Structure 1
Amino acid sequence: MSVHDELTSVQRHLEEVLRSVGRLEQQIGSAGLEMRRVHVDADHLRESVALLREAADKPATQKRPDLVTIPDTPYDDSLWVDTDDEGLGAHHGPEH
């Protein structure tokens, strides 16, 4: 099954869950903490599936950021002349 087919299947099942949650709310009421949590969780699932669908619809080139090459060569020591090694004290000795 393709990603699109899987997302469509998840969406159909989620719609059934949402209908069931609605029927439960009618039977036991929506005032209880447990029912409110189930309703909120179902809404979050709906939003998450929508985000997944959006991400799946984007071209593959947009899913992966550009890689940045970091050289293995040492840094130029002149970049660090006005700094101290944190926790080790200054290179020029203790200040008086």
Structure 2
Amino acid sequence: MSVHDDLTSVQRAVDDLLRSVGRLEQQLGGGLEVRRVRTDADHLRESVALLRAASEGPATAPRPSLVTISDAPYDISLWTDSDDEGLGARDRHAP
């Protein structure tokens, strides 16, 4: 089965669920429990719609451009005002 077929099958199942919840809502009234199930079913419908939209997008995401990093050592003067990470300040001793 293709992704499109699977999503169509899931959409049909969610539609059936929503119809069943609607019938239960008519029979049981709009109590808290039924409202929670209705809300969950609505969220499921929205999630399937988002999944369908994501699957119809580009098949592969564009690759980010590569950045070349030089092997040359960094200028030590760049770090004269900072502490060594995890070691504390240069003029103090670690505990």
Aligned to 2:55: 56
Q: Which range moves more in the overlay, 48-57 or 78-87?
A: 78-87
SS at match of 1:60: coil
Aligned to 2:38: 39
Q: Which amino acid aligns with 2:88?
A: G
For residues 34 and 74 of structure 1, the distance between their equivalents in structure 2, rounded to whole angstroms, comes to: 66
TM-score by length of 2: 0.77
Aligned to 1:24: 24
For residues 33 and 63 of structure 2, the distance between their equivalents in structure 1, rounded to whole angstroms, comes to: 41
For residues 90 and 27 of structure 1, the distance between their equivalents in structure 2, rounded to whole angstroms, comes to: 72
Q: Does 1:66 align with 2:60?
A: no
Give the CA RMSD over aligned residues.
2.6
Q: Deviation of residue 85 (structure 1)? A: 3.2
Structure 1 residues 25 and 61: CA distance shift in structure 2, 3 A: same
For residues 29 and 72 of structure 2, the distance between their equivalents in structure 1, rounded to whole angstroms, comes to: 67
Unpaired runs of 5+ residues, structure 2, are: none
Q: Deviation of residue 92 (structure 1)? A: 2.2
Q: Deviation of residue 59 (structure 1)? A: 1.6
TM-score by length of 1: 0.76
Q: Which range moves more in the overlay, 81-90 or 9-18?
A: 81-90
SS at match of 2:84: coil
Aligned to 1:13: 13
Corresponding pairs, count: 91
Q: Which amino acid aligns with 2:24?
A: L
Q: Which amino acid aligns with 1:51?
A: L
For residues 90 and 57 of structure 1, the distance between their equivalents in structure 2, rounded to whole angstroms, comes to: 54
